[in-house]
């Protein structure tokens, strides 16, 4: 039977999932990840609720993305020997201004996406390394890119542009938005759960190691906190979020920092990690007693609250707020801090429901509905891949 393999390749991990093609849509058979590449690699996988792998790997077994993919292929051979891979769906972070839909990848398309690496240096090189490794492993399979930027191509011009001369916009210097696969999945789940809410004014907060927020009207993205790169907007695990560009000029002119040093600072040493001096992980910060850890959380929630107000302004009001992502789905106390004092917006959290999330977590009399909906980027990639395979030719 034809199957779809999804690959979500990050700087130090590969998330994967295997789906059987079914008349009702892709049916998940197993999923997992290899994490800790370059440090302490580990393989974890499950089929439904059944754990099928949980073991540390040697540095030789997973020294890079290519060898880690070999580990994944060996697992697939053992766990699903009947699976013939007809397509591999890849999460590709940046599609630039031209890609508003998934794309079948050939050598020319991959070369074009290579030119977008400067716009997403933390992600794009690894995404494309995964594509190349999958092409070598599955030469007969269709390779399909699913872009994190595609969902936001419906933005109006005012939400996409910067106040720079028009020639820069024409050259591609514009706001792209990211986390689009997550937003697309969550928007679809909301439409299934509460179609009336999905048709209204919705803000989705994808909060995790990467964090952003999206304003949707009628299910379409009309605003995002992320911009030209995945640095903008909210503070993240190791990324700074919104920053006065004058700071970069100062670091170059007064501190004599190179472009590479500034890139490392903004992408890898800032955010929750930089503020706390302790960790990028919200779980670690919540359990810590250090005042710097608490200040980092306070800054994070302050910025989410500020951007929530901005997203509501874009929409002309708010009907539904949805939390998703690792922090959004699991950190009840963070959700509480974000929603505190937001009754002016019509938003009142029910703490009992909030502690039992996912699901509806607002009170019955809250004018704005607040929900926690787990995201599933792998399922979204598989759906796109299945649709591409079903097209004639």
pLDDT string in tens for the chain (393-residue length): 589 999 998 877 899 999 999 888 999 999 999 988 877 889 999 999 999 999 999 888 788 878 888 899 899 999 999 999 999 999 999 999 999 999 999 999 999 999 999 888 888 998 998 899 899 989 999 999 999 999 999 999 999 999 999 999 999 999 999 999 999 999 999 999 999 999 999 999 999 999 999 999 999 999 999 999 999 999 999 999 999 999 999 999 999 999 999 999 999 999 999 999 999 999 999 999 999 999 999 999 999 999 999 999 999 999 999 999 999 999 999 999 999 999 999 999 999 999 999 999 999 999 999 999 999 999 999 999 999 998 886
Q: Is 11 exposed, middle or buried (0-12, 13-18, 19+ CB in 10 A)?
A: middle
Give backbone dihedrals phi and psi of 194, rounded to 5 degrees, phi first: -145, 80
Q: Which residues are catalytic?
A: 148
Looking at residue 370, its pLDDT comes to: 98
- Domain assignment present for residue 106? The answer is yes
Q: How many domains, in total, are found in the chain?
A: 2
Query: Are 227 and 139 within one domain?
Result: no
DSSP bridge pairs for 51: 46
Give backbone dihedrals phi and psi of 369, rounded to 5 degrees, phi first: -75, 135
Of 82, 113, 147, the residue at which a domain comes to its end is: 147
Q: How far apart are CA 187 and CA 194, in angstroms?
A: 10
**CATH at 239:** 3.30.420.40
Residue from 179, 207, 141 nearest 6 by CA:
141
The conformation of residue 240, written as its DSSP 8-state character, comes to -
Q: What is the residue range of 123's domain? A: 2-147
Query: Are 143 and 198 within one domain?
Result: no
Residue from 233, 227, 236 nearest 207 by CA:
236
Instruction: Decide: 280 and 273 in contact? Cβ < 8 Å.
Output: yes
Of 130, 147, 164, the residue at which a domain comes to its end is: 147
Is this model's pTM higher than 0.75 or not? yes
Look up tokens 């591609």; give the residue.
172
Instruction: Decide: 87 and 141 in contact? Cβ < 8 Å.
Output: yes
Instruction: Decide: 45 and 79 in contact? Cβ < 8 Å.
Output: yes
Question: Alpha helix locations (H) across 174-316?
Answer: 180-193, 195-198, 245-253, 259-268, 271-276, 282-287, 291-315
Of 147, 162, 180, the residue at which a domain comes to its end is: 147
Looking at residue 391, its pLDDT comes to: 86
Half-sphere exposure of 180 toward its Cβ, with a 13 Å CA cutoff? 32
């Amino acid at each position: 039977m034809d199957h779809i393999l999804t690959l979500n390749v990050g700087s130090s991990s590969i998330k994967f999932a295997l789906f059987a093609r079914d008349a009702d849509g892709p049916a998940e058979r197993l999923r997992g990840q290899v994490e800790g590449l370059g440090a302490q690699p580990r393989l974890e996988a499950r089929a439904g609720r059944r754990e099928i792998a949980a073991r540390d790997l040697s540095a030789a077994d997973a020294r890079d993305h290519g060898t880690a993919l070999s580990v994944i292929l060996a697992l697939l051979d053992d766990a699903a020997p009947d699976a013939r891979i007809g397509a591999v769906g890849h999460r590709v972070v940046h599609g630039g201004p031209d890609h508003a839909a998934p794309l079948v990848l050939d050598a020319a398309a991959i070369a074009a996406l290579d030119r977008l690496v400067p716009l997403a240096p933390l992600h794009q090189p690894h995404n494309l390394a995964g594509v190349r490794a999958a092409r070598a492993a599955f030469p007969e399979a269709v390779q399909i890119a699913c872009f994190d930027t595609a969902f936001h191509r419906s933005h109006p011009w005012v939400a996409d542009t910067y106040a720079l001369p028009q020639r820069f916009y024409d050259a591609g210097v514009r706001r792209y938005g990211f986390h689009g696969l997550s937003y697309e999945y969550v928007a679809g789940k909301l439409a299934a759960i509460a179609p009336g809410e999905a048709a209204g004014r919705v803000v989705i907060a994808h909060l995790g190691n990467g964090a952003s927020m999206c304003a949707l009207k009628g299910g379409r993205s009309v605003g995002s906190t992320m911009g030209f790169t995945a640095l903008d907007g909210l503070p993240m695990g190791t990324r700074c979020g919104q920053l006065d560009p004058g700071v970069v000029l100062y670091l170059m002119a007064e501190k004599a920092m190179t472009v590479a040093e500034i890139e490392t600072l903004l992408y890898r040493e800032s955010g929750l990690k930089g503020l706390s001096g302790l960790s990028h992980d919200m779980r670690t910060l919540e359990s810590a007693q250090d005042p710097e850890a608490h200040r980092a959380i306070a800054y994070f929630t302050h910025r989410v609250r500020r951007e929530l107000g901005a997203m509501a302004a874009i929409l002309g009001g708010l009907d539904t707020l949805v939390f998703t992502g690792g922090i959004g789905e699991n950190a009840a106390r963070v959700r509480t801090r974000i929603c505190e004092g937001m009754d002016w917006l019509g938003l009142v959290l029910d703490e009992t429901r909030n502690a039992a999330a996912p699901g509806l977590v607002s009170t019955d009399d809250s004018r704005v509905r607040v929900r926690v909906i787990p995201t599933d980027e792998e399922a979204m990639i598989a759906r796109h891949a299945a649709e591409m395979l079903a097209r004639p030719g």
